[in-house]
Chains A and B, each alone.
Chain A
Amino acid sequence: MAGVSKKTFAIAMIVCGFVLAVMILISPGIGTQDVGIIDAWRSLFDSEPNSIHYSIAWQLRFPRTLKALLAGSVLALCGAVFQTLFRNPLATPYTVGIASGASLGALICYKLHWVTTILGISSVSIGALTGAIGVLLVVLLLARSTARITGNTLLLAGVTIGFFCSGMMMFITSLADVSETHKTVRWLMGTLDTYGHVELSMLLPLTIPPCLLLLWFARDLNQYSVGSELAASRGVRVERLEILAIIAGSLAVSAIVSMCGPIGFVGLIIPHLVRLAFGFDHRIVLPASILLGGSFLIGCDFLTALAPHWYGQLTHTATTTARLPIGVMTAIVGTPVFLVLLCSRRS
């Protein structure tokens, strides 16, 4: 069978879709409070609509799950696209310096004590989004100064601006007090904390259209992965593909970073896992990355709640109700999973 077969595609989507469905179904029942899966689902159909169980499962946990789903999906999708565009297996959604820009924006908000909500959105998120989009615009302007914008010029411009933002962050942090520094460090570890659905509904217009555009590019990205010259000779508008895909991906990631902080590893390892399992074809890699990226981040979010509880049981100390930062968990879980898969494939 030439190219991607319907059978391979169907298997990939069923497997990844099943994993995601299971994660979503059990998510209202997993957290720091003692409300299990059955309690959570029973509360949804109870006659008492605002019970404690209902509030914990469906007003606190489920919005977190949706946020994790959106963030994981977008980061994994953009990671897959950026690894192809930059021809670099280490490329991540943050390669063009977005995370540094967003972090700098967030840090400035903390430093200026501008911590409030506007239309239900945190001012820190607004600052982070401004920083991320600002960096993207600067990078594009720098890259445009060359004869032709290419992945490499964008990469170099992004890395340079990223270093500049990191330097500025260190400068501001050195002037900050303990409280501001703690808040910033905590933000840099990533968070899925959410209060209701307002944040999520604001994220959708910034993330869904760019993601749809990236999915539309799947066949062009297949061509691009065998060389930009060969792709151009087969009718792909290479320069347009590079610019649109990077802008779309960066915009979607900016929105995610502004709400969740720079959550690492998802955009790096999920595309590799998908390729190891299903091959290089972007018609499978992109949608499968969306499904598995979401599942992975939901799973990691479970562990941020359960790990402190397990630690308390093991050490016979008081169980804490605090969650671990999500960025810590993605690194702890992602690294060994990826290494095991890599080694098993080589063997």
Chain B
Amino acid sequence: MKTVTKTDDAIIQLRGVRFGYGTSRMFLGPIDLDIHRSRMLAVVGPNGAGKSTLLRLIAGLVKPGAGDVRFGDAPLDSLPPRERARHITFLPQKPVAPDSTSAMEIVSLGRHPHRKFGLFESATDRVTVERSMEQTGTMPFATRRMDTLSGGEAQRVHLAAALAQQPKVLLLDEPTAELDLRFQLQIFELLRELTDREKLATIVVTHDLNLARRFSDDALLLSAGHVAAKGPTETVLVPETLEAVYGVGFKTAECENQTWLLAQNPIEDASSTIIDDLGTFG
């Protein structure tokens, strides 16, 4: 379950970050954001709000058109790609696995940023791979081919590969998309556990507001490239903010000490609104 601790310095800072593809106008930003270790941040918002692009900016896969992304004290783009990859790992929405690869082969690929000139994996690589697989419960099917695994099992394997990178920051783009309810819960429980135990700064893009509310510490609500709200999850993921962004009515229901969000009918004449910062986060 959620922790209440908040670590000291931000591991990643975004200041006035804006982004646009090619010569098009900046469609994302400005975004100011502090990301801390041992915290899970859920990035939510309608389709096309810029959630995945934000994740790519933080991963260093694209450069901001304006503003700074900093890792610790250094600008993120000053880090060589392999060094950056030793700190930040990114799991895209639909990772692929080549034909006939085993689960363990996929996980061992995560060691790439740590490897130097040798042809084979070192003892450290092997220990780390096995540890990552144990953490994600994927050891029982280590030798099975990826195309024989269920969606949830395959996603846990890709998560194990991300952990094998030994990152400080874990970025996941809709890790539960196309998974059934059981696997969705499993993945989020695992992410929560890893965030706490490994002191990771975890950022998850998701469309499931209830999973975000239940497992994440903080939330960032994006609307048409702008920050509509950010702060502690329980202050951001509330009907008032969500209705303005999604154009859908929301109600809450209490069950077993949890607040659940229930989407209602679309609201007539709804327009996206930028809401003021609701909390101390960021």
Binding site for B on A (CB under 8 A): 1-6, 9, 147, 219, 222-223, 225-227, 229-230, 232-237, 275, 279-281, 283
B163 to chain A, nearest CB (A): 13
- CB-CB under 8 A from A235, the residues of chain B are 80-86, 112-113
A283, B118: Cα distance in complex, Å: 11
- CB-CB under 8 A from A230, the residues of chain B are 90-92, 95
A3 near B81 with CB under 8 A, answer no
CB-contact partner of B85 in A1, A3, A233, A279, under 8 A: A233
B125 to chain A, nearest CB (A): 6
B81 near A223 with CB under 8 A, answer no
- CB-CB under 8 A from B165, the residues of chain A are 234
B96 near A3 with CB under 8 A, answer no
Q: Chain A binding site: helix, strand, loop or mixed by DSSP?
A: loop
- CB-CB under 8 A from A9, the residues of chain B are 119-120
A233, B82: Cα distance in complex, Å: 8
- CB-CB under 8 A from B104, the residues of chain A are 1-3
- CB-CB under 8 A from B29, the residues of chain A are none
Q: Mark B114-147, 1 if CB is under 8 A from A, else 0.
A: 0100011100011001100000000000000000
CB-contact partner of B121 in A2, A236, A237, A280, under 8 A: A2
A4, B108: Cα distance in complex, Å: 9
A226, B22: Cα distance in complex, Å: 26
| B77 on interface, CB distance cutoff 8 Å | no
A234 near B85 with CB under 8 A, answer yes
| B110 on interface, CB distance cutoff 8 Å | yes
Q: Closest residue of chain B to A227, judged by CB?
A: B96
Contacts A5-B120, A229-B61, A229-B92; A280 near B112 (Cβ below 8 A) = no
Q: A5-B120, A235-B83, A280-B100 are in contact. List 9 more A-B contacts (CB 8 A).
A: A2-B104, A2-B129, A3-B120, A3-B125, A6-B120, A223-B109, A226-B97, A234-B112, A280-B105
A253, B269: Cα distance in complex, Å: 62
A191, B60: Cα distance in complex, Å: 49
- CB-CB under 8 A from B17, the residues of chain A are none
B112 near A2 with CB under 8 A, answer no
A226 near B98 with CB under 8 A, answer yes
- B146-182 interface (Cβ within 8 A of A): 165
B100 near A233 with CB under 8 A, answer no
A302 to chain B, nearest CB (A): 31
B108 near A233 with CB under 8 A, answer no
A6, B95: Cα distance in complex, Å: 27
A238 to chain B, nearest CB (A): 9
- CB-CB under 8 A from B222, the residues of chain A are none
| B276 on interface, CB distance cutoff 8 Å | no
| B264 on interface, CB distance cutoff 8 Å | no
- CB-CB under 8 A from A223, the residues of chain B are 109, 112
Q: Closest residue of chain A to B129, judged by CB?
A: A2
A94 to chain B, nearest CB (A): 23
- CB-CB under 8 A from B85, the residues of chain A are 233-235
- CB-CB under 8 A from A229, the residues of chain B are 56, 61, 90, 92
Q: How many A-B residue pairs have CB under 8 A?
A: 95
| B101 on interface, CB distance cutoff 8 Å | yes
Most chain-B Cβ atoms within 10 A of its Cβ — which of A2, A147, A237?
Answer: A2
B77 to chain A, nearest CB (A): 13
Q: Closest residue of chain A to B85, judged by CB?
A: A235
Contacts A233-B89, A281-B105; A4 near B120 (Cβ below 8 A) = yes
B101 near A279 with CB under 8 A, answer yes
Contacts A3-B121, A5-B120, A219-B115; A232 near B61 (Cβ below 8 A) = yes
Contacts A3-B105, A227-B95, A279-B100; A237 near B120 (Cβ below 8 A) = no
> Mind listing 20 A-B residue pairs with CB under 8 Å?
A1-B126, A2-B105, A4-B119, A4-B120, A5-B120, A222-B112, A223-B112, A226-B98, A229-B61, A230-B91, A230-B92, A232-B61, A233-B59, A234-B109, A235-B83, A235-B113, A236-B81, A275-B100, A280-B98, A280-B105
B183 to chain A, nearest CB (A): 20
- CB-CB under 8 A from A281, the residues of chain B are 105
B115 near A280 with CB under 8 A, answer no
- CB-CB under 8 A from B92, the residues of chain A are 227, 229-230, 233
Q: Closest residue of chain B to A284, judged by CB?
A: B119
- B50-90 interface (Cβ within 8 A of A): 56, 59-61, 80-86, 88-90
CB-contact partner of A2 in B82, B83, B97, B126, under 8 A: B126
- B184-224 interface (Cβ within 8 A of A): none
A338, B22: Cα distance in complex, Å: 44
A234 near B100 with CB under 8 A, answer no
Most chain-B Cβ atoms within 10 A of its Cβ — which of A3, A147, A225?
Answer: A3
| B44 on interface, CB distance cutoff 8 Å | no
A83, B140: Cα distance in complex, Å: 32
Q: Closest residue of chain A to B113, judged by CB?
A: A235
Q: Closest residue of chain B to A1, judged by CB?
A: B126
A232 to chain B, nearest CB (A): 5
Q: Closest residue of chain A to B128, judged by CB?
A: A2
| B268 on interface, CB distance cutoff 8 Å | no
- CB-CB under 8 A from A280, the residues of chain B are 98-101, 105
B238 to chain A, nearest CB (A): 33
- CB-CB under 8 A from B96, the residues of chain A are 226-227
- CB-CB under 8 A from B109, the residues of chain A are 3, 222-223, 226, 234
Q: Closest residue of chain B to A280, judged by CB?
A: B98
- CB-CB under 8 A from A233, the residues of chain B are 59-61, 85, 88-90, 92
A236, B81: Cα distance in complex, Å: 7
